Chains A and B, each alone.
Chain A
């Protein structure tokens, strides 16, 4: 399944010197550098975590990867071609997203079935009604949802965890190469959170999906990711293998950040 090129995994996404500056104000312009000169690449089947506190630029990067924002400078390439040269439909067949709030990701005037039907339209193949139904049932059972139980219902009739699983099933129908998961568990209870993370790991292992996992929760990044990028106020401060960065951080900021992350396994010395 994986594309081998020159003995190395070929990079799927390539982000080069990416910057984004927002300007505001009418009389005196104020510039905010949300992302500053960030470069990294993403290989097929890789699960990479972008972590940082609020204002670190992680969501801005997600928006640019999704073509929702244009970079101020820098390049984003998918398969060696700038993403802004891709036709929208063509691009979103390959790159998909799961957002933080499942309820606002779905139009709540329609039954949820419509989401899956529209997802199938992104596929090229002409499908009969029976085939569609079969694909939908397969996708739902893969994410652990009983199709009979939820089809025909409206978004507000489902719990956040169910809906987030449902949106992962939608991803399965589109079969993109890359999924951008932006804080997907922050509105979900602790007891269902592990299930969502495991699901994403399964998709990577069994379907060869490449995942950009954006989170502020270092624990989740550690649990799920192979590689990690630490951002601070738009700067990429440290990147590498999760186990190296999180057990032996090199940058001062990463060290400070990790010293503030609560852990069930160790205790802080609150006297100092």
Chain B
């Protein structure tokens, strides 16, 4: 399964939430290859499993979320077969770094950014670094990612939401990880701060600080500004994967198609006359997902087989596109 061109390989990944509430089949069989240098959008509605997928890739899911089966290879490290101390010291932040949702609030309110960084460095390297050296290391890095080096001497409450988010991303990339996973880094921020974050990610990739990005967001308009690939998740399944622009212009999966027709997006060239449509019904409960294709209760193109058998991920020839829908294979 080793492959030099791929930064991330996921094979039939399953991860469920388990507790007194039962089992929630949140990520149920996701297969995915990401090339080095790609910026991949992971999009979908709330509860579709996009954040769960991101969390599983990091190798340390939070309590209640349980890795079930499947393989994840990041830069040829098999994440769930790597001993935890190696995962902690050599893989995380150095090969893969994860910026979770709402992480702008994860800064310690009683520590200056630099002291927070000092804690991170101690945890990750196990070494105690002299303060002056640390100030230089962190300051240089903040400057490299386009921030002012004075930011490290501030307390979180002195920074705006956008600046906190950018500081967290800067801290997460201090060891130049090959793959950066960001989960909704722009939501809850004003559009001007959102653009700054997208620009920061773009420049970090251009300048070689990071190599590839997985960008989780529900906002396809923002994702389309920076990503070259897109994954659409629905009810725990990866439904479609392909080039960003192709998927926006010519979605193949019935769900992607309906989703694209429901997105209200600003058009600088004037009001779009077309009436947008919403998708009728609501996503299924993932405690008891429907048999077969999980979109079948809402799908306008549903066939008998969709109710019985879960479709595999069909590859569409020459288009680098993968679609999990019976319309695109076997018996058509």
Contact = CB atoms under 8 A, between A and B. Distances in A.
9 contacts: A54-B190, A193-B264, A243-B271, A246-B266, A257-B191, A259-B195, A264-B224, A266-B267, A270-B226
Interface in B193-227: 194-195, 198-199, 202-203, 218-222, 224-226
Interface of B: 45-46, 190-192, 194-195, 198-199, 202-203, 218-222, 224-226, 248, 258-259, 262-272, 275-279, 282
Nearest to B43: A190
A9 interface: no
B224 A262 contact: yes
A222 B192 CA distance: 18
Interface of A: 53-54, 159, 161-162, 189-198, 216-220, 222-223, 242-243, 246-247, 256-268, 270
Given A190-B262, A219-B264, A247 B225 contact: no
A193 B271 contact: no
Contacts of B224: 262, 264, 267
B266 A218 contact: yes
B271 A266 contact: no
Nearest to B196: A260
Contacts, number: 125
B272 A258 contact: no
Contacts of B267: 219, 222, 263, 265-266
B45 A190 contact: yes
B69 to A, nearest CB: 29
B191 A219 contact: no
Contact of B221 (A216, A219, A223): A219
B265 A219 contact: yes
Contact of B264 (A223, A260, A265): A223
Contact of B276 (A197, A246, A258): A197
A192 B278 contact: yes
Contacts of B278: 191-196, 198
Nearest to A226: B271
Given A53-B192, A190-B259, A192-B279, A264 B271 contact: no
Contact of B259 (A191, A265, A268): A191
A190 B263 contact: yes
Nearest to A187: B46
Contacts of B264: 190, 193-194, 197, 217, 219-220, 223
Contacts of A257: 191-192
Contacts of B282: 159, 161-162, 192
B303 to A, nearest CB: 22
Nearest to B201: A270
A247 B219 contact: no
B225 A265 contact: no
A213 B170 CA distance: 37
Contact of B222 (A220, A262, A270): A262
